[in-house]
Structure 1
């Protein structure tokens, strides 16, 4: 049988399955007729029992020779919706006679061979790039698809990124549903990037994609050679599943033609999606006659330039495990109505997005469209939707009417709520041109609103009009361009009930309206904008020179321009920054009025505005910003400036003066008629540096020296013993006896004030300061700290004041104390410290001792028979006590070797140690088994050795032995050799996995694993032969580079293939919404 996603009935008959009556329909295709019915619940139950369910969090991307695979099965939630959406095709009747050979890849429409690299995107390449890419190239007339022109081949990234759980693979049907609901972008707007498996696609990619939507997907579950030929001869490639690990051996001995025969292919594993492109009845191999032509997604270096052959007999064996699939195109499809949604805060993609057609009268749902993409994530947090979301609503129009014209959007569930900043519809009459709607609805009211709210708007089409009619002008020749174009609208206007609105664009894009006019003339217009203030702008330019701009949210405002003689271009451009969306995120223009002008002979007028922190005497004390503003009745062409002796420069933004000194800014402007303004100048003085004052003393006499390199000294102030401040004019006496404190500072002519300084003068202070230390941290036992130790030193000197404090730890150098610090080294340490006052008196050195140990002790065990000996070590504070327990009993203080228990029983001993600082070791465990003297039987060997790349190397996994022998299993031993060299034990494991991070790139290793117990060691499982071309160094590199490299001569491949288990994807069914790929689990 087959499975159909979107059947088109031409007749209906009655049939039954397991006593359940259902309606059967038929569909005519090129070369035959398909009979189908909606899937019954009994069929769903049987399929789920037979095929199994996708396992949450499992990575289905198995690497082979540096290339990814990635075929994944159907989830349990998708099974639950099959009866509502899936169709089973009962039979196919052929009307054709077949040629002896056919090859669709010879067509100029067939995409060039591509390379999926290490991404698990094989299903996307098979279904999106090859199968649907060929059909769409024929539909669009893309004759350069065969040369790989980016704008004529479809992007696997577009579909894969919407359905993969990070980079863990996808199903054929999942990719097909994305094409059905969202379409497919080309490589030109969404290039294939091996590091990108999460992005949704830009606004340009989304707009392009909906023109390339599929109609339905067919699955052939009782495939024959003739059935495949019917489909291929009707013009559609066919996708199927196989085991990619067989590529290492199946081509051995082949000549120019690379052929897989039934004798070559001996596996039930399925992990890789491929595409059938033709057949040849004369190709033979190992007694098989006739073969299908197949294309892989591993580049032109694979097999015959990316292609190879599978004999009819071998293909039927594969298809008995997994039904082939193909996709039907919407030939000549033209979207008619779309929704555009902007988010100021993006919701997570684990929410479900739907569009609903509602009744204007009752508000009830008339028809609902839920769009397919992944909504569950196990490999990481759910990624966010893009800031810009674009969807095709044409499917709702079958129920659209004057009373059913309210369109709503809904997000349900999800781990993160978003905020919708704008939502509207676009209508396309006639052919669909991406970004060029013929009509646009008003924006939905009540925004912004969270995605927890159902947001709706009513939209009825209005009569299509020209840009000139909406702008009320005939004087300008108008056109529009950009990522999206300006459109006439009737919901907002200044005059006449209509205006034009900028195209709906994503971040960092723009939409331009352009008009040409012959001058001289005066042009006026009205405009307004609703946007992110200071980031998104609507600008008007004449001949590329900006005349005016607006941003934020404004009302209708009039602008007038004087246009000089000759032909000139006026442009209105709405441009978005890379930031978020605010408001409706667009600009409007209306009511362009044009009258004749006069010759302009008057030069423009430019003024300079200076801003910065002003000091005194005309000086600035911070960076100065000079803004030049020019005005002219006919429009300003340019403004020029130069600073000091620099070059003349075109003014584009305020000029910053950062250097101290006196500067001259010269400037002038030129208008649209070429009139040049006389040069003007402005003097700018900047001094941001405070003066410097020093002191010298002779007895009680104090002399102050001042300096300021830029604006000069204005005044110097001093005080004695905190008395009144006085102006310094000459040397002064601080007193006659005792000790006195003199404070002083200077101010320069710009107003910069120096920080106050002080000195001690006279007196008989001969006493040094007094210092003390405070230690902080987590205290353990016996005076030890178990975390880093914080150190704070305080010093006082009542007479002359503290000048500097010094300290050193252990034998380190003396260091000037600058403030609280943290010491991290374990051990017993001595902190020495002292201070010096302003008169040079030195405090006697003090010291304190502190102890830090943040590391717990380490305990090991030794077992001899039933006797257990524990040995513990602690480098810093030494071991205080060791505790142990046997078989979950009470904890006991360890005083010496002890017996774990009786023979013939496995005992579990747990133990830990505590050091003198109070650090407690994590509990460890050892299993103790005492032989009873019976015959010893070693465990059997483990099975199913496999490997995958990890950070720093590889991770080996295997299955525990079926027979553990006469004693409980102790664990596993892992052996490795370099090439065919000597085997070396590299580690043991208590679990069925082991990570090796000691590998060297481009070296071939052989791995073996054994099981062991007290009764002995099993035979070796292996070899697993691995060669890493690159050692991964970070998580971001996982999946980017192929890692497992099998020798080109195929040596040991047979052993390896037999021992690497993979879950097998064997069967598929298509559904209208949701994945449609069932999986049967088998062991190779």
Structure 2
């Protein structure tokens, strides 16, 4: 859609200042009265400059006489003074800016996204004759004068075009802005991966949250388990192994990039971590004296297992370290004289397995005499190291996104079970399997824990700062360009360029440059160019002490001299 037709014109403001469109010709006439059409001034020796003339200076220009003449006495005024008739030449168009006023604005791919209640304001300024009018077009409508804010009420894509005209007819280049109005909330769903029996889950289950938003897109998903705080969902499967046995409530919702918030979704489920309860009974004759249990050849052992949710999958038992057998009915105890050990356990349909609450064994034991037990009271010894780039300065460890943190632990008693870690003060722990690296720049905190085989635990803490950004590059020419054209800025032959770089965190390691396809060199002083009449590109590369890099290009042209 084309802009309207705006004709250049003169303008006189309220204070009597005369403004003239700098692109328009100027004809001067001499007249002896205000109503006289006068005589057109021209110079036949310079017709190319005087018929017509153009103002050469943006802003104030003067039509002048050398000495002022008193219009009453017709004599030269004393002291001598010039007569100056000012005319303001205006060749620059206004500049208009768009402002979107709303709660949330999100930019993506040259489209501004906004939610409900969005209002657009257009602000224009002109340095000389002043803004006469702003014009705008919304979607397929024609251009109209802008008089008040523009309200965006309909959901979907809006195409706004706008420009301004000053008092002498200079027309601003047309601006275009696409604005997506998003009035709809996201829609989220959940999934729990793992074995499910009705609405019950157990160890190994993980939570997956997914959300869709057709316009501005999903900014974040938040979830809450039971009465805990709402947490930001990371997008990865969330292990539910930390849940206690019993009923739990999951609540979750999503927010899009313009602040539309989904109503809270609620899902109730049961998390079964309870192993079956087992009891062992001796059926038949028995006699106990101190540590010794006596029984007859008719004595049997009976196992009973009860599970509160999933149900019993099977019961297993072993006599005197023999292979475990399936239990289906009471059995005779060994009749051979001596001490015998019967081990037994039950597994429910979720795989929860009975273990001995008095030890780390994954079964119960029925024994005839006491067993010596070693007591392990101390947790593992913890340490850590880094692999990759690392700078330690000002009491801070600086790393980049390639640096890995290695967590280490040893235990000389019951032995190591696992190392876990949590991030940024979170209570959620993750199993450590390989080196950790951090992509997000800024400060990061890692708490890590060592567990031995009887679940004694020690904790350690690491603070670090991730720096992924290369140094800032600066360059300065030793002289100003003597001209500028579409080809670039022209500099006098022999002009030098001075290079510099600054790193906000760890400091600069090296600064390199090369000219066009030439060899890259380490910068040690000014770069001087001696080739004449040559368009050249200077490539600059800066490296900080962590190996982060940044690059810049400078296009310039050297003159003939």
TM-score, scaled to structure 2: 0.28
More helix by share: 1
Q: Which has the higher contact order (CA 8 A, sep 6+)?
A: 1
Which is higher, the Rg of structure 1 or of structure 2? 2
More strand by share: 2
